[in-house]
Amino acid sequence: MTPDSPEEAWASGALQNGLGGSRAAQERSARAGAGSHLGRGRFPVPGAAGAVGSRAAGGASEDLLKEHYNDLKDRPFFAGLVKYMHSGPVVAMVWEGLNVVKTGRVMLGETNPADSKPGTIRGDFCIQVGRNIIHGSDSVESAEKEIALWFQPEELVDYKSCAQSWIYE
């Protein structure tokens, strides 16, 4: 099942309860301000069963951010994006599960928060595009590149939830 709404994504347990299918993982970096919502039931982050890597950095280096957003380097907002991302702590996470890239992007909402549905992260916590609070990989290939950029292999765990057999065939 591929969820069509954030509610279905969360209720499906694809990100909340277990790992499965292919080991397609998605890197996320939730930015300044998001930290105040994490872990308080206000920011829908999957439980430990869906997260295979997570770390809070005191701040990402400019070089790391420039490499992460390299595909945007020719856009007029690039310098402002790097400056904003460098202005505070970053929480980087890896989520794993069946269809996690698509499911995660449903949970994120549209890049422009004004176009995001209520119940999505951007719909609930963002106002302006330049401060859209969270990044999500757009493909498994992008995720693999971004995970390698933000994490060392030993920082990722191969975790299997006891609920996995209840969720995945």
**Catalytic residue IDs:** 135
The HSE-up count of residue 19 (CA atoms within 13 Å, CB side) is 20
Burial 21-56 (b: 16+ CB within 10 A, else e): eeebbbbbbbbbebeebbeeeebbbbeebbbbbbee
* Residues composing the chain: 169
Q: Going by C-beta distance under 8 Å and a sequence separation of 6 or more, which residues neighbour residue 16? A: 10, 46, 47, 49, 50
- Maximum Cα–Cα distance across the chain: 48
What are 25's two structure tokens? 């993982």
